[in-house]
Amino acid sequence: MGKLLIATRQLEGPIFQQSVILLINYDQTGTMGLIINRPSEMPLSKLFPKIKGLEKRKDTAFFGGPVQMDQMFLLVASNKQPFNSFKVLDGVYASHDNATFKSVAANPGTVFRLYVGYAGWAPGQLESELAKGSWYVRDTDAGTVFGKSPEKLWPALIQKSGIEAQR
């Protein structure tokens, strides 16, 4: 994978406007991604008070997208693949396994983000939105995915790439 969807300025609506989505699955059954620039103010330690290690961390939950808001998805920055995860791009793995989350949370040195829900498209739906000019597609890396200021990611990507100036 290793691709980002970057919302164009013409994409409106409260969910996807100015969003940056990391694609984590793309095949004949459809497309799945996580909105990586929508942190919440809800500390993980309050959402999961019984998970050891979270009380020492300041991580917050992220809004991953409007689909299956009752599920969590985990992105982990790691040089080796965590238990029950799959590779998204070099140094970034995804999982929705609770045991993996507990293991990652217990290790204070592990960089991770937890997302509630995901963004999804039926087969052909994303291609239609791309043809309408709703999204830009760009390669990415772990540093971009786990950047320090996720809320500033969309304007930074728009400015850095000059893609809006090209239109």
What are 63's two structure tokens?
């809004």
CATH number of 3-161: 3.40.1740.10
Write the pLDDT tens digit of every residue in 111-153: 999 999 999 999 999 999 999 989 999 999 999 999 989 999 9
Instruction: Give the residue-averaged pLDDT of 28-52.
Output: 93
How many other C-beta atoms lie within 10 A of the C-beta of residue 95?
22
**Domains in the chain: boundaries:** 3-161
Write the pLDDT tens digit of every residue in 94-110: 999 999 999 999 888 89
**In degrees to the nearest 10, what's the CA dihedral of 116, 38, 20, 9?**
130
Cross-strand partners of 87? 93
pLDDT of residue 45: 93
d(CA 91, CA 46) in angstroms, rounded, equals 28
